[in-house]
Amino acid sequence: MSRKYFGTDGVRGRVGQAPITPDFVMRLGYAAGKVLLEDADLAVGDRPSVLIGKDTRLSGYMLESALEAGFAAAGVDVCLVGPMPTPAVAYLTRALRLQAGIVISASHNPYYDNGIKFFSAQGTKLPDDVERAIEALVDQPMTCVAPASLGRARRIDDARGRYIEFCKSTFPNALDLRGLKIVVDCAHGAAYHTAPDVFHELGAEVVRIGHQPNGTNINDGFGATSPRALCEAVLAHGADLGVALDGDADRIQMVDAKGNLYDGDQLLYAIVCSRARRGTVSGVAGTLMTNLALEHALARMDIPFGRAAVGDRYVVEMLHENGWLYGGENSGHILALDCHTTGDGTIAALQVLAALREAGGSLQELLGGLLLYPQKLINVPIVKGFPWQDDPAIQAALRSVEQRMAGRGRVLLRASGTEPLLRVMVEGEDASAVLAAAEELADVVRNAAQSA
């Protein structure tokens, strides 16, 4: 059964339009609370407790109150931490032995979007069947428990410090960051008051950018999805490295002293090489979007590689199924399950920095064994539900491009799980051929979408 509201990363949309409205979010909290009450393994008389964090969007205040009301009506206690990175919520949920964690965030989207995503008691994304159980209740009439059974809310004042210490604990005790100047771009998002302090407390000289959120500037010209600001700041300050996070700090890009930008595939490779030097890496999980060059590089190291569906939740599922520890997406979601249960941009940066400290030299030298193939991604706006798989013109163009790229690259069409877009991706050895093929295919999709 397909999900009505949940996408690849929770429920997401434009604020004020269904489903991101106060009444729906209150019902979502209520439905989630009812599911938790049914599934929670609690002592008699105890109530389940959840943790709610958010990024820095103005709409977070409204949605936080609506969620809190829904959970309280279901008889669930709520712990509030305010603006906090998505992976921090996952960690705190597990550390405080709570029944679930909820993040109010639309990740890398503009401020006028927002969303709700859930973590289990183990700090992992909710399984599909639990999300379906919540959806089955969210459109049902909402009631309220007896007054004496209503949930209560409290704030956790030391959440920020707890999370900073957790991040630092993933960096080897024998190493530090002394002598490094690092620019940290927080995208005016949830990590504005955590990430810079992590690197500073490990000894680095930190230059902060994108650290002044005002409710509407999240991801606006800063962060992992707009890395130009980081590249310019690294060069302007003569920094050794730059780290860019996105609005909820679960994805990362890095920049070296020359202003060269490195994506998730390259940073994952750096971490895997470091772990391989310490011991055996049993396997690595990527996605359909992972650059083919990474797969080939891992093959030369005799490390198995698998491709999951796009979305870090599916990468995590593949890791658990195979008993692997490392995986990620080229967008910057990086999983190191020996450090955390979910993708964490700050922790991923620390693992890359540890690899640099161990190997010496520059990031460019560390990644010398991985030369990415040219890849072109074009996002084509479509109407939600557009049946592109059944469109004869699109399918004919897809077959034509696949035949031309056979043996020399890959072609991928997929609908975004978070935005009304069809992603057209082509990669191969020849950059001009890749660009031409991607534009040709995108034009066909664009024309078909406009005619629908």
| Catalytically annotated residues | 107
Residues 6+ apart with CB under 8 A from 293: 265, 370, 371, 372, 373
- Nearest in space to 353 (alpha carbons), one of 209, 240, 194, 224: 240
Q: In 288-436, where do the E strands start and end?
A: 305-308, 326-328, 334-336, 375-381, 409-415, 421-428
Helix, coil or strand: residue 114:
strand
Helices (H), 113-205: 128-138, 159-169, 195-201
Kind of pairing, strands 284-287 and 305-308? Answer: parallel
Helix, coil or strand: residue 73:
helix
Residue 248 gets which letter from DSSP? Answer: T
Bridge partners of residue 241, in order along the sequence:
182, 256
d(CA 47, CA 170): 33
- Nearest in space to 53 (alpha carbons), one of 98, 112, 22, 18: 98
- Nearest in space to 88 (alpha carbons), one of 350, 329, 341, 418: 341
